Amino acid sequence: MFDFKDKVVVITGGTRGIGLEIARVFLENKAKVIIFGSKEETVNKTLAILKDEGFEAEGFYPNLNDYLDIESVIKKIIEKHGHIDVLINNAGISANKKIEETSSLDFEKIMDLNVNAIFNMTKAVVSYMKERKSGVILNTSSMVSIYGQPSGVGYPASKFAVNGLTKSLARELAPFNIRVNAVAPGIINTDMVANLPKEMIEPLIKTIPLGRIGQPRDVANAFLFLASDMASYITGEILQVDGATRS
Ligand code: NAD
């Protein structure tokens, strides 16, 4: 059991999949959890699910590509809670088309959410963390950030960029006692994977030495550890949570 009592944790892409499970593990460990989603309706639905499970969380739905929108939501959170201790940049979309079928708009959409949104969120939160000389920023990368993937090039390209943001910001923000790490999941049982074609998934499972697809909880636990004081000397790391998948 970790103790996140009085810690404020903001999670983008917190309405389902890995992000929702991250919300659950922090709630189980007494954190104040604020989820961000893309729509009011999905945010409210998720808050209701969590309520049924006995958890109280809060939610917002800023446009993650609109810095001013994010800034005003972060201000509201600071006015209410006074601080943000942990920022988890988890929202992301994937791709699987071959390059000839990928439009430049498809490519930009991925970069907008998977990379630019992390920049915007981090920029909006970091000054508050700096003031308190304390904070943790965690990003969701992917195993494709290590190996690439044979289609949907925007997705691995975006996750390589996530690693670059993580490693660089870790060094920039270390003097302010702000740690920055990423978790790089392998194949995890969420909607994102359910939407991929079978021909793509089945050969991938064969490459997992632990012999199974990961569960959202496997990934959420890694976030919890990296956000905790047990990881107080870990920064700039990309933690692979992929059952030793190496391709
Ligand atoms: P998911 O599709 O189940 O959830 C994605 C989340 O992102 C949702 O909460 C959704 O609301 C949010 N989101 C999507 N578009 C958005 C937008 N335009 N603005 C704001 N929020 C938006 O996916 P998941 O599998 O839970 O993925 C979460 C993260 O994990 C992503 O960054 C993804 O790249 C990464 N990841 C997933 C896997 C996997 O196998 N599932 C593997 C490696 C990395």
Residue pLDDT, tens place only, 62-72: 999 999 999 99
Identify whether 3 is part of a domain: no
To test the ligand 1 pocket, which listed residue (20, 69, 93) has its Cβ within 8 A of the most ligand atoms? Answer: 93
Going by CA atoms, what residue is nearest to atom 10 of ligand 1? 13
HSE-CB for 182 with a 13 A CA cutoff = 30
- Whether residue 23 contacts residue 223, with contact meaning beta carbons closer than 8 Å, is answered with no
Identify whether 29 is part of a domain: yes
- Whether residue 186 contacts residue 241, with contact meaning beta carbons closer than 8 Å, is answered with yes
Q: Which ligand 1 atom is at minimum distance from the Cα of 12?
A: 21
Who's near 216: CB < 8 A, 6+ residues apart?
17, 18, 20, 21, 22, 188, 189, 190
Identify whether 247 is part of a domain: no
At 128, phi and psi to the nearest 5? -65, -40
For residue 208, give the CATH number of its domain: 3.40.50.720
Give the pLDDT of residue 209.
Answer: 95
Confidence of residue 10 (pLDDT cuts 50, 70, 90): very high
Going by CA atoms, what residue is nearest to atom 3 of ligand 1? 17
Percent of the chain topping pLDDT 70:
100
Q: Residue 24: name the closest of 54, 3, 45 by CA.
A: 54
DSSP result, 148-166: --SS-THHHHHHHHHHHHH
Identify whether 246 is part of a domain: no
Distance 159 CA to ligand 1 centre (A): 12
Confidence of residue 54 (pLDDT cuts 50, 70, 90): very high
pTM for the predicted model, two decimal places:
0.97
Per-residue pLDDT for 77 more than 90?
yes
What whole-number distance in Å separates Cα of residue 195 and Cα of residue 215?
A: 16
Domain count, the chain: 1
Confidence of residue 200 (pLDDT cuts 50, 70, 90): confident
Distance 48 CA to ligand 1 centre (A): 20
Distance 165 CA to ligand 1 centre (A): 18
DSSP result, 14-40: -SSHHHHHHHHHHHHTT-EEEEE-S-H
What's the distance, CA 48 to chain centroid?
Answer: 21
Give the pLDDT of residue 201.
Answer: 80
Identify whether 200 is part of a domain: yes
Distance 37 CA to ligand 1 centre (A): 10
The model's pLDDT over 139-160, given as tens digits with 9 standing for 90+, comes to 999 999 998 999 999 999 999 9
Residue range of the domain that includes 142: 8-241
Confidence of residue 204 (pLDDT cuts 50, 70, 90): confident
Give the pLDDT of residue 194.
Answer: 80
End-to-end CA distance of the chain: 34
Identify whether 2 is part of a domain: no
Over the range 13-47, which residues count as b (16 or more CB within 10 Å of their CB) and which as e? bbbbbbbbbbbbbbbbbebbbbbbbbeeebbeebb
Which residues are catalytically annotated?
Answer: 155
Give the pLDDT of residue 197.
Answer: 82
Identify whether 163 is part of a domain: yes
Going by CA atoms, what residue is nearest to atom 17 of ligand 1? 38
Is the dihedral angle over the CA atoms 61, 240, 225, 231 positive or is it negative? Answer: negative
Per-residue pLDDT for 222 more than 90?
yes
Per-residue pLDDT for 196 more than 90?
no
Beta strands 178-185 and 58-60 are unpaired
Identify whether 12 is part of a domain: yes
Percent of the chain topping pLDDT 90:
90
